[in-house]
Chains A and B, each alone.
Chain A
Amino acid sequence: EAEVAQSPRYKITEKSQAVAFWCDPISGHATLYWYRQILGQGPELLVQFQDESVVDDSQLPKDRFSAERLKGVDSTLKIQPAELGDSAMYLCASSGIRLAGDYNEQFFGPGTRLTVL
């Protein structure tokens, strides 16, 4: 695929429930990123994978957030339990060198808009 796919596009949940988001990166991209974007702000990195390994999760609230990329392709981000302050857009991006001349830039998916009630 030449685009980053994310699902669901929208999710409404009640606080204390568990939610999960899925991302399928551009085919051949080794690096995958999860960002959180609060309304009116720029995206902020939560976690970065290189293949199946986490290379940066310093900004991931690990008491409630978890992320995995078991086979080094698609990825899941989970929140358990969800809190009111988790309402945001969750964006997935991928990067990689597929062709000569690629600059390893990040390309974003459409995002999952989470609302916690």
Chain B
Amino acid sequence: GQQLNQSPQSMFIQEGEDVSMNCTSSSIFNTWLWYKQDPGEGPVLLIALYKAGELTSNGRLTAQFGITRKDSFLNISASIPSDVGIYFCAGRGSQTGANNLFFGTGTRLTVIP
């Protein structure tokens, strides 16, 4: 299957700091998505990107679809304690299945008050 690599694997930051994480793929994707997962819960969709170069914001979150279509990044500004969780990128291509998503390995974020 598709391999998506996320970095960093984990982050410990002070409340109020900005956060940046990224995701790279060995294959081209037509869509990049970012999800957040709290412990014991399902992933929640944060941002969806549909065009290479697209930059999209959702409150304090900003994500970009890389020009090569093989990468994406997510920024969180002015982090707060409720930002704690695991952030997953997911990519969708046209190669296998109309809506198949391939998930990254996750970035675990800890915010220290």
Q: Could you mark each residue 89-117 of chain A with 1 if its beta carbon is under 8 Å from any beta carbon of chain B, else 0? A: 00101010000000111111111010000
Residues of chain A lying within 8 A (CB to CB) of residue B45: 105-107
User: What is the total number of residues of chain A having a CB less than 8 Å from a CB of chain B?
Assistant: 26
Chain B residues 37 to 84 lying within 8 A of chain A, measured CB to CB, are 40-45, 48, 50
Nearest-CB residue, chain B, relative to A112: B42
* Interface: A43 (CB within 8 A): yes
Interface size class of B (residues with CB under 8 A): 20 to 34
Given A105-B33, A113-B40, A43 and B99 contact (CB-CB distance below 8 Å): no
* Interface: A42 (CB within 8 A): yes
Contact with A111, one of B41, B98, B99 (Cβ below 8 angstroms): B41
Contact with A108, one of B4, B44, B99 (Cβ below 8 angstroms): B44
Show the binding face of A for B, using Cβ within 8 Å.
Answer: 4, 6, 31, 40-45, 48, 55-56, 59, 91, 93, 95, 103-111, 113
| Complex A-B: 13 CB contacts under 8 Å | A6-B42, A41-B106, A43-B43, A45-B101, A48-B100, A55-B97, A56-B97, A59-B1, A103-B48, A105-B33, A105-B48, A106-B45, A108-B43
